Amino acid sequence: METNPKTGKQFLDSVNTMLRQTSADLKLEERYPGHQLVERMIIPDRVVSFRISLQRDNGAIDVLTAYRVQNNNFRGPYKGGIRWHHRVDLAEVQALAALMTIKCAVVGLPLGGAKGGVAIPEGRVYSVPERERLSRKYVEGLVHDLGPKKDIPAPDVNTDAQAMAWMADHYGKFTGESITAAFTGKPLSMGGSQGRAEATGVGVIMALERHAHHKHLELKGKTLAIQGFGNVGSHAALKAHSETGMKVTHVSNEFGCVFQDEGLDIPALMKWVAQNGQKALIKFPDGQECKEDILSADTDVLCLAALENAVTADNVGCIRAPIVIEGANGPLTAEADALAVKAGLDIVPDILANAGGVTVSYFEMVQNENQDRWTREYVLERLRGIMNNAYDDLREAARKHKCTLRRAAFLKAVDEIAAACDLRGAQ
């Protein structure tokens, strides 16, 4: 199994540096002397790591390392997705868990932060029965740590509604209760919410629309390039294509990039990838394979919706779009972010832009708790309200502190988390 510990460590270092800087800016040590608030935000409440022996269909066993990091629950139960990827390591999961705590505070959800992951061998594609066994084994390793009032996982990279269905089912078998609220991002027929599957990508474009509104910028006719065509990237592309009048000219995934100057037919591209797999993206009949990396696409907006650290100090200079919106978590390294800001790029940060997923997950929890069902229209209307309010708060804070939206988001979130931590006392 190949992993890249450097990537996860670099990501965690960036997040922790940001937390320390923000705590210093907020003078937390002076305001709460001796309370060690920054350490209590950085060191997770709990780290669970365990082995999964996964039986393959051919009888062979894959020995996998699984993680769940519960960053903190000062503002509410732990919440965060589960990722299956060859790059998963403890540092990566720890960084993502901390970002979840920050994100929930940025959009004002009464939740803390967590993240889970399983490091799978590079290039391994599991069959449906193998994915089911992996989902169930993951829950077995964590059954005492999860629950609707404790820690509620959701989908992330390479996991989906079906994986959540198996996990919720298995959790119910262990607890003896039908507790669907222990997982979100479930299929509709198992208590999932309308609008959850597309919520993150839709929320990305809602954040972009609000950004454009504040900048007096007309999105209609503007061009968009999207890195990553999975759950987040494809739904962001679809909303941009069908509801904003933007032209999605470039789309990439781990196998390459396609473009169409007149704008790609996104519903057709989604259908093509669903039928033929991610590898076939570059063979889309109505597009051409890009000659350059998508970062160099000459568009008005670039949406980064793949993985963390996609943009580093080495390639940030390739970005030509003046506006960058982060659908992925941590797509720019700290160094790249500093260089991008210096170069005048206008960045809508991940902890705001991709908060649509956790927001609709929260709606799912509320519906499950109340045995209720909301319409898609109602879900999207509430999501729009939350995204707009969060954006407006950050824009105002950025104006007041003369800082970037990312800095404003950290200032708001860390201040709120610190206050909750202090009120709870030395736990």
Give contact residues for ligand NAD (rule: CB under 6 A): 155-158, 200, 227-233, 252-254, 278, 305-307, 327-329, 354, 357
Pick 88 or 414: Cβ nearer ligand NAD:
88
Among residues 320, 226, 300, the alpha carbon closest in space to that of 264 is found at 226
Among residues 214, 212, 213, 218, the alpha carbon closest in space to that of 396 is found at 214
Out of 79, 103, 115, 137, which one is annotated catalytic?
A: 115
Q: Is 283 part of the annotated catalytic residue set?
A: no
The length of the chain is: 427
Sheet of 323-326, strand order: 288-289, 256-259, 247-253, 223-227, 301-304, 323-326, 346-348
Pick 28 or 191: Cβ nearer ligand NAD:
191
Pick 77 or 228: Cβ nearer ligand NAD:
228
Helices (H) and strands (E) in the chain, counts: 14, 12
Smallest distance from ligand NAD to CB 34, Å: 36
The residue nearest ligand NAD at its CB is 230
- The packing angle between helices 405-424 and 5-25, to 10°, is 80
Pick 158 or 333: Cβ nearer ligand NAD:
158
Helix (H) or strand (E) holding 348: strand 346-348
Smallest distance from ligand NAD to CB 304, Å: 9
Smallest distance from ligand NAD to CB 331, Å: 7
Ramachandran region, residue 226 (left: φ > 0; alpha: ψ -120 to 50; beta: rest)? beta
Rounded Cα distance between 315 and 317, Å, is 5
339 close to 311: Cβ distance less than 8 angstroms: no
Smallest distance from ligand NAD to CB 122, Å: 12
Pick 191 or 327: Cβ nearer ligand NAD:
327
Residue 152 forms beta bridges with which residues? 79
Strands 78-85, 113-119: pairing is parallel
Pick 141 or 155: Cβ nearer ligand NAD:
155
Alpha helix ranges (H) inside 303-404: 334-342, 350-353, 356-369, 376-401
Cβ neighbors of 36 (< 8 A, separation 6 or more) are none
Smallest distance from ligand NAD to CB 284, Å: 13
Smallest distance from ligand NAD to CB 384, Å: 17
Rg (CA), the chain: 21
What are the catalytic residues?
115
